[in-house]
Structure 1
């Protein structure tokens, strides 16, 4: 009986480090998997290069959020898997995800760069996955 008393504390101690240590790459991948454009936009640079399918442009944070919100409404995310990540530099990261949605599979690539001591997304590309 005494042993079970401390079980919840042990479980919390086990889980907390993995949650706290999740870097920006994993947080962004998780937000894409959730289809959460609002929280995702908090990681965007002031202006961001966005490509959604065939449309490419540089947008403000707010515009980029609206574009992704529309994409996620039209393509409800079901799962996301990290295919490739380059995080060997402390000031530059590149990640490729495979995003599975209710309408099909997409390849999502995002580039992060350190700006004013904070990692921000400077480019995000969503393309149809070629099988």
Structure 2
């Protein structure tokens, strides 16, 4: 095999890894944009949401309302990836730092089969 083909082969090998991260990054970007309408389309039929000390399981519609209220009080400015895990197959996990007009929040996102099954938002304790 010629060395000129090596970059193409490497790209093809890394392509599946890039597409796995896209789902979790897409959720993070929708959070940054405050776009709960599009974000709720990625929610599983039943999603566990934790905002600060309030934790519950909601339907897609209820979860969108809860998240919309939080984002209305805390307008997103930026989001930064802290950690991502692809534990193989259907599970993906990411931790982000969401910077808002009222402060910073740590956001943990869990995807199963490309649907958000868990979303945790808590105060950023480490500066």
**What interval of TM-score do these two structures reach, taking the shorter chain for normalisation?**
0.7 to 0.9
Number of aligned pairs? Answer: 108
Report what 1:9 is aligned to. Answer: none
Structure 1's consecutive aligned runs of 4 or more residues displaced over 3 angstroms after TM superposition are none
Change (3 A) 1:92 1:21: closer
Q: How far apart are the structure 2 equivalents of 1:49 and 1:37?
A: 16
Superposed CA RMSD: 1.5
Report what 2:122 is aligned to. Answer: 127
* Alignment map for 1:1-131 (pairs within 5 Å): 23-114=22-113, 119-131=114-126
Q: How far apart are the structure 1 equivalents of 2:20 and 2:55?
A: 33
Unmatched 5+ residue regions in structure 1?
A: 1-19
3-state SS of paired residue (2:61): helix
Q: How far apart are the structure 1 equivalents of 2:89 and 2:30?
A: 22
Unmatched 5+ residue regions in structure 2?
A: 1-18
Q: How far apart are the structure 2 equivalents of 1:95 and 1:22?
A: 9
